[in-house]
Amino acid sequence: MCSKGQLWAETQRANRVEALRTLITKEIGESDTITLEIGCGHGHWLTAYGAEHANEKCVGIDLLNDRLKKSEAKRAKRGLTNVHFMKAEASEF
């Protein structure tokens, strides 16, 4: 039997996983090649990689909102449509 806290945590995780699946389907769609960077930080490496590999979909995940905001700013500054950043744990991806 689960405690209320454990049930809440499991529900939150399930909601994050479902939201992540929806976002990936909407933003990325079907792709033969996806490059995943776990712990993308400020997005320096992935934005540079995505700029050089425009035919690949690139996804960076991190847990910290301030890092993701900086990553998004770098992506937007370069005008990259093949690079995406999202808040997630590796086990949820």
pLDDT in tens, 53-79: 998 889 999 999 999 999 999 999 999
Q: Could you report the per-residue pLDDT of 23-46, keeping only the tens digit for each?
A: 777 767 766 678 999 999 999 999
pTM, entire model: 0.76
Report residue 36: phi and psi, to 5°: -115, 130
Beta bridge partners of 57: 34
Residue 80 scores a pLDDT above 90: yes
Domain count, the chain: 1
Structure confidence at residue 31 (pLDDT): 64
Domain CATH number, residue 86: 3.40.50.150
b/e map 27-38, b = 16+ CB within 10 Å: eeeeeeeebebe
Q: In terms of residue numbers, what domain contains 19?
A: 4-92
